[in-house]
Amino acid sequence: MIRNAFPILIVLFSIFCIWIVAVAPMNFKIALDQLERQKEEVFPATSPERRNVSVVILMFQNSKYIKASYNLERPRLPTPKQVANEIWKTTGKMAIKGRAWSKRSLIYHGWVTLKSTFFGFALGVSIGLLGAISIVYFRVADLSLMPWAIISQTIPIVALAPMIIVLSSQIGIDNRDVPKAIISAYLCFFPVLVGMVKGLRSPEISQIDLLKTYNASGKDTFFKLRLPASVPFLFTSLKVGIAAALVGTIVGELPTGAINGLGARILIGDQFGTPLAIWASLFIAALLAGVLVTTIGILQKITLKQMGLEA
């Protein structure tokens, strides 16, 4: 881990530098349009004349205005500083003012997304576990369910997402939590199912035979051999599963009509033309993903150590 820290930092730093350099060409045309409106002297003087000139040439011709690219209110590509400011404005600053649960605060929207992610994760993991157990114990289930589980993942869930939302509101569930949880469970059950089928089948035949010679019941074989053997597989799938659950929740928040949640903030930011809000929500979503996966990673280390299996 420490050995990797230095290269990771260097790579992150280079991404950061590329980002800052890219801001100027990305925003320069917008910046020039704005300067033109403020009666500054730019060359070529009007927007239609500039349309077909390459950004690089424009930057040479108007080099004294390059700084303006870094200070736009609605940039195509915001600077890291602008994004950081926006995140601080909608999280820390609001929390200090005691408005952490205001509708404008990303802490509130992040919490909405996190809650739905947990519901969807719980639902998806339960479905995955039940499916895996029935697949391992019943041949019919193995033959009928497994191919459909694979096909279900090749169907793009986003096509279904608006339908699930409409369906549940027609049935009388006005709360968006239920459809969001279903969408994220749909994405997250599959890695758990596949991982657990592998895990529950991981004991060797000789081990199962040994338990048979002990006259162990089916229950004992399950709880004392199969389940413990599957724990390392379980944690690996849970890590994939929680990331998938978060993606599912955000996809569930994207289609029209959502008000709460990070996905809805992205949508609203798009509709109102406030790119900074989109970028801030994206970074908070990335942060959530990182925290969730890391948490499961830590749980994995602790559990496996307790069981005597080093991760």
Partner 1 sequence: MWVVIFISVWLVGWGINIVLANSSKVAPHFRNIGVPLIFGITILILWEIIVQGLSVSPVILPAPSLVISTFMASVDVLWVDFVQTVVKGAIRGFLIGAVAAFFIAIIIDRSSFLTRGLLPIGNFFSALPIVGVAPIMVNWFGFDWQSKAAVVVIMVFFPILVNTVQGLKATDTLQRDLMKTYAASYYQNLFLLRLPAAMPFIFNGLKIATTMALIGAIVAEYFGSPTRGMGFRISTGVGSLDIDLVWAEIFVAAIVGTLFFGLMTWGERKITFWHASQREK
What one-letter code names the amino acid at 23?
V
Residues in region 87-116 near partner 1 by CB under 8 A: none
Q: Which of 140, 206, 213, 219 binds partner 1 (CB under 8 A)?
A: 140
Cα(147)–Cα(145) distance, integer angstroms: 6
Q: Which two tokens stand for residue 26?
A: 């990305």
- Using CB under 8 A as the criterion, what x/- string covers residues 279-298 for binding partner 1? x-xx--xx--xx--x-----
Rule CB under 8 A: choose which of 151, 213, 215, 298 binds partner 1: 151
How far apart are alpha carbons 293 and 299 in whole angstroms? 10
Question: Smallest distance from the beta carbon of 40 to partner 1, in angstroms?
Answer: 25
116 and 261 Cβ atoms separated by less than 8 Å: yes
Alpha carbon distance, N-terminus to C-terminus of the chain: 14
Residues 10-49 that bind partner 1 (CB under 8 A): 10-12, 26
Residue 147, preceding bond cis, omega within 30 degrees?
A: no
How far is Cα 81 from Cα 309, in angstroms, rounded to an integer?
44
Query: The tokens of 79 are what?
Result: 């600077």
Binding mask 70-89 for partner 1 (x = CB under 8 A): ------x-------------
Min CB(238)–partner 1 separation in Å: 12
- Minimum CB separation of residue 266 from partner 1 in Å reads 5
Which of 42, 72, 250, 264 binds partner 1 (CB under 8 A)? It is 250
Contacts (CB under 8 A) with partner 1, residues 153-212: 153-160, 162-163, 166-167, 170-171
Amino acid at position 206, single letter: S
Distances from the Cα of 121 to the Cαs of 48, 60, 117, 192, 242, in angstroms? 52, 53, 6, 10, 6
When asked if residue 247 is in the footprint of partner 1 (CB under 8 A), the reply is yes
Residue 208 CB, nearest approach to partner 1 (Å): 19
CA distances from 231 to 193, 243, 270, 287 (A): 13, 19, 43, 27
Closer to partner 1 at the Cβ: 20 or 282? 282
Structure tokens at 176: 């968006």
Footprint of partner 1 on this chain (CB under 8 A)?
3-4, 7-12, 26, 76, 139-140, 142-148, 150-151, 153-160, 162-163, 166-167, 170-171, 239-240, 243, 246-247, 250-251, 254-256, 262-263, 266-267, 269-270, 275, 278-279, 281-282, 285-286, 289-290, 293
